[in-house]
Amino acid sequence: MFHKRDMNDHEKRDHAAPAPTPAAAESHGQNSNPGRGVIASIGPSISIQGELRGEEDLVVEGKFKGTVQLKKNTLTVGTKGSIDAEVFAHTILVDGTVNGDLYASERISIRKTARITGNIFAPRISLEDGARFRGTIDMDTENEAFRKAFGTAAAAVKPASSPAERPPAEPIKNTQTSSKSGSGAHA
């Protein structure tokens, strides 16, 4: 009924299949540290108070009060998540509620279901239609608050989407004298 070859093929397929991505990473787009694959989470029934530090991405669907330090990682506040904290992260994605100042060295994305009361400091910010925000936005990475938060000069923090610098293009010289020269397009 079962052949050894069939079992080996089945085992190969099981080992070759990629590990499933956590649902939080799929629903929130980019992971700031692709390849790490480790995403911690605070579930909807969890409530934590204190100082949170880590070296992995975090999804909060529960409640947190205190300080969050994920300076090299992504913090995602899910739709059920509620944070009353000062937050320092590489990237901050907000779908839920945040009361407190947000500092991101890369970007902050405030989605349509987000409710934020506090100040935002980041070089890149997106605010979706429908989101609620009360506070100030500061995108100047040279400012004292930003440098104090990340301990770096602004020159070290550059948006990931900045294009590479290229030398200026040389003008193209037309050496043909015929009126049919060019790219083949007719006027």
| Burial (0-12, 13-18, 19+ Cβ within 10 Å), 40 | middle
Who contacts 126 (Cβ-Cβ below 8 Å, separation ≥6)? 107, 108, 109, 110
pTM: 0.64
88-113 burial, b if ≥16 CB within 10 A, otherwise e?
Answer: bbbbbbbbbbbebbbbbbbbbbbbeb
**What is d(CA 21, CA 39) in angstroms, rounded to the nearest whole number?**
10
Give residue 36's pLDDT.
56
What is the domain partition of the chain in residue ranges?
Answer: 32-154
Positions of the chain with pLDDT under 50: 6-35, 153-167, 178-179, 181-185, 187
Give residue 168's pLDDT.
52
Cβ atoms of 31 and 48 within 8 Å: the answer is: no
Give residue 143's pLDDT.
83
Q: Number of C-alpha atoms within 13 angstroms, CB side, residue 13? A: 6
Cβ atoms of 97 and 113 within 8 Å: the answer is: no
What tokens does 84 get? Answer: 């009353």
Give residue 14's pLDDT.
44
Q: What is the mean pLDDT of the chain?
A: 76
CB atoms within 10 A of CB 73: 21
Who contacts 55 (Cβ-Cβ below 8 Å, separation ≥6)? 72, 73
Give kind and range of the element (H or E) at residue 45. none
The 10s digit of each residue's pLDDT in 161-171 is 444 444 455 55
Give residue 45's pLDDT.
97
